[in-house]
Every structure is written in structure tokens, then in C-alpha cells.
């Protein structure tokens, strides 16, 4: 249940003194959502920030960069595998305790990675936290959605998803900067500090959050019997494939097709990241205002962006502009993905959020793999086709869901 909402407003008409209590509740909820946002930033930063220091890691352990890349790929694979199961297993435990457990494991993992002298130990120190990664995200999305009225839930979740975008955008350049200007160990220490600060903030400011209505594992897993759940999973996989199948090779595209300098490419990547954060803010408002219209129109908008990107790819300034637009659209897509799955299984929010995490990672993996295949067979310019084809398929799955299920019953929690 929301911690504040229309009921409190009505009480104000009877007793204005309640206003102070409501203001306190609103401020507390805003603080909790801020901590959750920083928490998701810290965890994604741990996952993705390593990308910016792979060459340094390779030198430190005297291995190839491709082997160092296992720190990224094995982390993502572990998250994808554990996405549905771990949130399910921990769904009946006090959410505050669960989040402290996950954050504590991430801090320990960061510290072990910091002092690891053996690459195998470094891998283990990455994989163990990755197992618990989906638990935090599932709890964070559920808490954010339940802290406000149902109509405002997309906005609250969008704020938490800003941490995901910031982690992907800022984590890589920050880690790279620290590794190049100070040392590899300081870069890895940054991961530990962010997670440690979130652990302390959660311990101090979060109230105890026992799960009042414990759902059986069977009841939660039963959502997989519904066609709407599978249509939503397919949609998320396809949308993430559409986004990351192209974005994963954006730097290569800007280098070989647009002929940009390395410094300019770095600047464009930052533009995309900042735009992604803006997209999260916009998405919350759009989903709150008109969910179905937002979701159905999304593939058309992203498809148009890819057509333009394909046509003007060799021109620097137009590419900068379309990358900005693309970043905003991609940010909106992240929110649509999360909402689309959780609205399909509102009776099992933790499990649904776990499915979202897994589906998103599967989509990223498929898109990246197919994108690499297109580049090797057709050339870098044609990687955009991966995004365009995925967009078309996602539109089909979206329309199937909207035609098979009543919006008033299925789409709104």
C-alpha cells in the first residue's frame, strides 16, 4: 500500500494538523527513493564500470583484454540466470534486511577484487555478488512503486531507473579516469565506497520492511502460465535487443562510419548517457499519463530514429543530434520494459521484477551477438538493421498483448 495518497488528502479536509505528518511521509519517501537510486547506481557501476578499466586489469593480471572481459560477460550471464530465482527465494524476507545483505556482499566483493592477486579470485569476487544482484533491483522497484499511489508508480520507478542509467553512463568514464590518472586500485575502491555509503544510508534511514503478505513460491511462479507474461517477456527481450544491439557498437560506428576522433566519440557517448537519464524522467510522466499509447508508439519512434541514423551516419553534427534523441528514446525504453512485465504479473511483483532483470540481460546478450554478426558479414554501418528488425518484432508482440487483454484490467496495477 502507498505510504501516502488520496486518503491522506481527504483527511486534511477534516484535520489540517495531519498536513505536517503527510509532509514528513512524503519527504521520507523521497529520501528512500534517492537512496534506492544511488544503490542501483552503485551496483550497476560495479557491473559496468569494469568496462572502462579492462586494459588496466589485463595488464595487472598479465592476461589478454579478451580474457579480462570475462569479468563483464560472466557477471551479466550470472545475473541473467539468477534473475527470476533469487528474488523469488528472498521474496518473503524483510526487504531492509535483504537489501543490506546484498549491499554487504557487494562491498565485500569489491574489497576482495581490490586486493586480489589472482584472476580466478577476481572472477569469483565478481560472480558471487552477481548472484544477488537481481534481489536488490527487484526490492528497489517494488519499494519505489509501493511508496506512492498506483497512478504515480511509473514516476517513482523511473527515478530508481535513473540510477541504472547513471551507472552505465558515469561508471565507465569515472573508473577509466581514476585508473589512468591515479591507479587501478583507486578505481576499484570507488566501486566499494559507493556501495558502502548506500549500505550505511539504508541501515540508518530505512525503516524495517517486513513482508506482510507472503506469497507462496508456487503462486508467484504460476504467473508463467499466463500468455500475457510471456508476451511481455518477449517484448522486453526484443526492445533491449533493439537498443543494445546497436548501442554496444556505437563507438565503433562513430569511428568507422562517421569518422570521429576518439575525444569526440567519448563526448558523444556522454551525450547519449545524459540523454538516457533524461529519458527516464520523461518516461515516468508518459507512462503515468497514457500507458498504452506510450508503449504502442514506442517501436515506431525508435524505428524512425534508426532510419535517420542509418541515412545520416556519415555526418558528424547530424549524428550528434540523432544520438541525443536516441539516448532519450533508449531511456524511455528502459522504463517501458520494467513496467510492461510488472503490469503483466502484479500479483507477484518480486518475481516479475526478477523476470524483467533476466529478460533485459537476455535481450542485451542476443542483440550484441547478432549485432556483431551483422558487422562481420555486412559491415559496421548495417548494425542499425539489428535494431530496426528487433523493433518490428517488438511491435508485433506489443500489439498481440494489447489486442488479447483488456487495458483496464491488465495494464494498470
**DSSP secondary structure string, 45-69?**
HHHHGGGGGHHHHHHHHT--HHHHT
Query: What does each C-alpha distance from 308 to 298, 333, 392 come to in angstroms?
Result: 16, 18, 16
Are 341 and 355 spatial neighbours (Cβ–Cβ below 8 Å)?
A: yes
Closest CA to 29 of 46, 53, 8: 8
In this prediction, residues 279-285 reach a mean pLDDT of 86
pLDDT at 15: 54
Look at residue 23 in the predicted model and tell me its pLDDT.
Answer: 59
Residues 6+ apart with CB under 8 A from 183: none
Q: How many CB atoms lie within 10 A of CB 396?
A: 14
**17-55 pLDDT per residue, tens:** 555 655 566 677 788 888 998 999 999 888 878 876 777
pLDDT digits (tens, 9 = 90+) for 134-177: 899 888 888 888 777 777 777 788 888 788 777 777 777 788 77
Cell 576482495 -> residue: 112
Q: What is the pLDDT of residues 362-386, one digit of tens each?
A: 888 888 888 888 888 888 889 899 9
Q: Is the distance from CB of 144 to CB of 159 less than 8 angstroms?
A: yes
Distance CA 317, CA 315 (A): 6
1-214 folds as Growth Hormone; Chain: A; (1.20.1250)
CB 386 within 8 A of CB 248: no
Would you tell me how many other CB atoms lie within 10 Å of the CB of residue 303? 19
Report the predicted TM-score, pTM, of the whole model to 2 decimal places.
0.76
Whole-number Å distance between alpha carbons of 45 and 242: 23
Does the pLDDT value for residue 406 go beyond 60? no
pLDDT for res 3: 46
Residues above pLDDT 90, as percent of the chain: 31
Q: Are residues 371 and 383 in contact, defined by beta-carbon separation less than 8 angstroms?
A: yes
Closest CA to 370 of 360, 359, 382: 382
Q: According to the per-residue pLDDT averaged within each range, which of 228-237, 267-276, 359-368 is highest?
A: 228-237
- Looking at every residue in the chain, the average pLDDT score rounds to 84
- Dihedral of the alpha carbons of 369, 371, 374, 378, in degrees to the nearest 10: -140
pLDDT > 60? residue 283: yes
Which pLDDT belongs to residue 14? 54
Task: Delimit the domains of the chain by residue range.
Answer: 1-214, 217-413
Annotate 309-371 with DSSP letters as a single string: HHHSTT-HHHHHHHHHHHHHHHHHHHHHHHHHHHTT-TT-HHHHHHHHHHHHHHHHHHHHHHH
Nearest-angstrom CA–CA distance, 71 and 121: 11
CA distance 338 to 412: 13
Dmax (CA) for the chain in angstroms is: 71
Mean pLDDT of 6-25: 53
CA–CA distances in Å: residue 141 to residues 9, 101, 410: 25, 17, 19
| Helices 262-289, 153-181: inter-axial angle, 10-degree rounding | 170
Q: How confident is the model at residue 399 (pLDDT cuts 50, 70, 90)?
A: very high
The reply to whether 217-413 shares the fold of 1-214 is yes
Sequence-distant (6+) residues with CB within 8 A of 373 are none
Nearest to 337 by CA among 219, 226, 409, 241: 241
Residue 398 has which C-alpha cell?
506489443
DSSP 147: T
CATH architecture classification, 217-413: Up-down Bundle (1.20)
What is the rounded CA–CA span in Å between residue 111 and residue 122? 10
Q: What is the pLDDT of residue 409?
A: 45
Amino acid at each position: 500500500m502507498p505510504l501516502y495518497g488520496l486518503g491522506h488528502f481527504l483527511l486534511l479536509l477534516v484535520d489540517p494538523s495531519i498536513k505536517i505528518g503527510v509532509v514528513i511521509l512524503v519527504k521520507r519517501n523521497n529520501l528512500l527513493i534517492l537512496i534506492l537510486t544511488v544503490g542501483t547506481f552503485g551496483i550497476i557501476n560495479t557491473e559496468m564500470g569494469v568496462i572502462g578499466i579492462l586494459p588496466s586489469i589485463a595488464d595487472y593480471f598479465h592476461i589478454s583484454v579478451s580474457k579480462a572481459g570475462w569479468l563483464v560477460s560472466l557477471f551479466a550471464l550470472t545475473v541473467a540466470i539468477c534473475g527470476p530465482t533469487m528474488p523469488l527465494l528472498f521474496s518473503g524476507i524483510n526487504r531492509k534486511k535483504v537489501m543490506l545483505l546484498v549491499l554487504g556482499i557487494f562491498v565485500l566483493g569489491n574489497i576482495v577484487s581490490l586486493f586480489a592477486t589472482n584472476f580466478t579470485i577476481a572472477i569469483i569476487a565478481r560472480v558471487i555478488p552477481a548472484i544477488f544482484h537481481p534481489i536488490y533491483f527487484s526490492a528497489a522497484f517494488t519499494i519505489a512503486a509501493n511508496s506512492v499511489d498506483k497512478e504515480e508508480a511509473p514516476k517513482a520507478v523511473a527515478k530508481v531507473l535513473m540510477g541504472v542509467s547513471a551507472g552505465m553512463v558515469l561508471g565507465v568514464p569515472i573508473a577509466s579516469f581514476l585508473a589512468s590518472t591515479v591507479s587501478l586500485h583507486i578505481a576499484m575502491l570507488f566501486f566499494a565506497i559507493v556501495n558502502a555509503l548506500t549500505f550505511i544510508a539504508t541501515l540508518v534511514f530505512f525503516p524495517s520492511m517486513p513482508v506482510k503478505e507472503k506469497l507462496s513460491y508456487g503462486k508467484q511462479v504460476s504467473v508463467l502460465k499466463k500468455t500475457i507474461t510471456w508476451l511481455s517477456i518477449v517484448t522486453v527481450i526484443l526492445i533491449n535487443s533493439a537498443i543494445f544491439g546497436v548501442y554496444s557498437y556505437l563507438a565503433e560506428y562513430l569511428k568507422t562510419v562517421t569518422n570521429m576522433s576518439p575525444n569526440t566519440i567519448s563526448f558523444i557517448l556522454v551525450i547519449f548517457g545524459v540523454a538516457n537519464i533524461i529519458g527516464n524522467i520523461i518516461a515516468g510522466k508518459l507512462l503515468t499519463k497514457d500507458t498504452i499509447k506510450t508503449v504502442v508508439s514506442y517501436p515506431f519512434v525508435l524505428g524512425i530514429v534508426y532510419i535517420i541514423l542509418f541515412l545520416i551516419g556519415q555526418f558528424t553534427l547530424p549524428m550528434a543530434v540523432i544520438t541525443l534523441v536516441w539516448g532519450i528514446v533508449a531511456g524511455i525504453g528502459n522504463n517501458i520494459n520494467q513496467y510492461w512485465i510488472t503490469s503483466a504479473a502484479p500479483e507477484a511483483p518480486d518475481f516479475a521484477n526478477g523476470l524483467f532483470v533476466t529478460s533485459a540481460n537476455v535481450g542485451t546478450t542476443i542483440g550484441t551477438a547478432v549485432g556483431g554478426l551483422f558487422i562481420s558479414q555486412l559491415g559496421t554501418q548495417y548494425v542499425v538493421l539489428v535494431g530496426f528488425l528487433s523493433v518490428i518484432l517488438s511491435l508485433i508482440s506489443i500489439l498481440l498483448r494489447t489486442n488479447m487483454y483488456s487495458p483496464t484490467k491488465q495494464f494498470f496495477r
